[in-house]
Amino acid sequence: MRWPIRNQILLPFLMIQIGTVFVVAISSAWFAVRQVDQEIIARMENVLSTLETATYPMTPAILEQLKQFSEADFVVFNQNDEVSGTTLVEMASNEQRLSAKSLTPYDRNSLEQRTLFEFQGRRYFAGLVSKRSGARTESVLVLYPESEWAVERWQAIFPPVLVGGLLLILTIFASLWISQRIARRIQTVQSQVARLAGGNYSASPKPVINDELQDLAEDLNQLSVVLDQSMKSVRSNERSSMLAQLSGGLAHQLRNSLTGARVSIQLHQRRCATGNDEAIAVAIRQLTLTEEQIKALLRLTRGESDKPESDQLDQILNDVISLVQPMCEHHKTRFTSERLKIDQEITDANALRGALLNLLLNAIEAAGPGGEVSVSTAVDSGFALIEISDNGPGIPDELTEEIFHPFVTTKKEGVGLGLALARQAAQDCGGSLRLIQDGRTRFELKIPL
């Protein structure tokens, strides 16, 4: 059975409030009734005490004044036990004889335990007292109407009962309003969760009230950001996986074609030797480097790798620079080199050649005609530092964190694998590759000595 959280909050709260209001109202009414009883008792005691000590005769005028003062009726008996005066008009004209000796003397208990006197269908609380009037002794019966006592009691009970009822109604309405308000806020959070479950990761407005529900809404907004990033990452990974499969298959075909082209040129060079074979040698080196780039791509996408070949770092730099200098001249890009001789053996020379070639080709393209590209080397704390920089427009800030990821590129027709292959080659050598932008775009390749 479903029990909404609104009812879980509302019902116990209402029960507590109703019980509290009920107890307060009943207690107030009981104390008010006790106070009324005490006032009536005190009033009768004052009247009886006054009559006991009074020496004036009980004339009709005096009896009327006493009635107006005390709201009680009086019956006076003479020494012969006859009614000599009364404020009860019916008794004065009634033939029924009333004897003081048949009445119980006045006691000082509560009103409920006092002597009750009934006359002409009306009930009275009765109190009998004897007094001296000159040489005579009179008995005075004080009668307080039971109906007046009930009226005064009800008048005392009504205000606390009315206030308690109004408070109870207000409590119920306030509880319903509070519970509905909390329920609406919970439903807002529930709808936010439903949107997340449905794939809508947009942030919801922050609740106005600073409480646990606001914290929950903020946590859900943070969760939506994380889920949005995760879904983007999943889609990116799926796309990368698909592109990796496509590029892997294409790279495999290209490697075979490049190998065949390189072998054909080498055969042609041996058969048709000329005095100047520099152009053919550059072409063979370019095909070889391109083949190594394809191998690096296959390592990245398929995990395929051949046995690496080692070479000196300076020789690797010489090979790469000799390949890019003609391209700089063609693009009218200024090329500078500040190199420090470093005696360092690179275990996977072809991978590093491909990495440096990718970095230099990117720099030449970024610098453009009239731009500047430079290569510098240094030694720092047991590491060989190779820095390739250009004065091009640089990389947008939103891509600096992802620029080394596969298939991330700033070029309209780029594939986005050059920097990923360069970083992989640096890591294979035990080093690292990082981007620095300080007016120039710098890629620092760090290899341990």
Q: At 272, is the secondary structure helix, strand, or coil?
A: coil
Residue 227's Cβ-side half-sphere holds a number of Cα atoms within 13 Å equal to 16
Do the bridges between strand 334-338 and strand 136-145 make them parallel or antiparallel, or are there none, so unpaired? unpaired
- Report the pLDDT averaged over residues 413-427: 75
Question: What are the C-alpha distances in Å from 102 to residues 37, 76, 99, 105, 128?
Answer: 26, 14, 6, 9, 11
The single-letter code of the amino acid at 102 is: S
| pLDDT, tens only, 106-153 | 444 455 555 566 776 777 777 777 777 666 777 888 888 877 777 888
Which are the contacts of 54, defined by CB distance < 8 A and separation ≥ 6?
131
Which are the contacts of 188, defined by CB distance < 8 A and separation ≥ 6?
204, 207, 217
Measure the CA–CA gap between 169 and 18, rounded to whole angstroms. Answer: 9
CB 142, CB 72: distance < 8 Å = yes
| pLDDT, tens only, 3-42 | 676 677 777 777 887 888 788 888 888 888 888 777 877 7
Neighbours of 400 (CB within 10 A): 12
Segment holding 86, helix H or strand E? strand 83-86
Mean pLDDT of the chain: 76
Which backbone phi and psi does 312 adopt, to 5 degrees? -75, 145
364: which 2 tokens? 């030449």
Do the bridges between strand 83-86 and strand 73-77 make them parallel or antiparallel, or are there none, so unpaired? antiparallel
For residue 394, give the nearest of 435, 430, 424 by alpha carbon.
Answer: 435
* Model confidence at 335: pLDDT above 80: yes
Confidence of residue 246 (pLDDT cuts 50, 70, 90): low
- pLDDT for position 356: 86
User: DSSP assignment, residue 105?
Assistant: P
Radius of gyration in angstroms for the set of CA atoms belonging to the chain, rounded to a whole number:
56
Burial class (CB in 10 A: 0-12, 13-18, 19+), 191: exposed
**Residues belonging to the chain:** 449
CB 373, CB 360: distance < 8 Å = yes
Q: Which residue has the tokens 């550059």?
A: 282
Measure the CA–CA gap between 429 and 447, rounded to whole angstroms. Answer: 7
Measure the CA–CA gap between 95 and 97, rounded to whole angstroms. Answer: 6
Helix-, strand-, coil-residue percentages of the chain, each rounded to 5 = 55, 15, 25
The distance of Cα 293 from the centroid of its chain, to the nearest Å, equals 51
* Model confidence at 370: pLDDT above 80: yes
Which backbone phi and psi does 265 adopt, to 5 degrees? -65, -40
Neighbours of 309 (CB within 10 A): 12
> Which of 71-85, 178-192, 242-256, 309-323 comes out lowest in average pLDDT?
242-256
Q: Does pTM surpass 0.75?
A: no
DSSP per position, 385-420: EEEEEE-S----GGGTTTTTSTT--SSTT--S-HHH
Q: Which residue has the tokens 């060079």?
A: 269
DSSP per position, 315-357: HHHHHHHHHHHHHHHHHT-EEEEE------EESSHHHHHHHHH
CB 295, CB 306: distance < 8 Å = yes
Query: Percent of the chain beyond pLDDT 90?
Result: 2
- pLDDT for position 175: 79
Q: At 383, is the secondary structure helix, strand, or coil?
A: strand
Which backbone phi and psi does 280 adopt, to 5 degrees? -65, -35
Q: At 88, is the secondary structure helix, strand, or coil?
A: coil
- pLDDT for position 96: 47
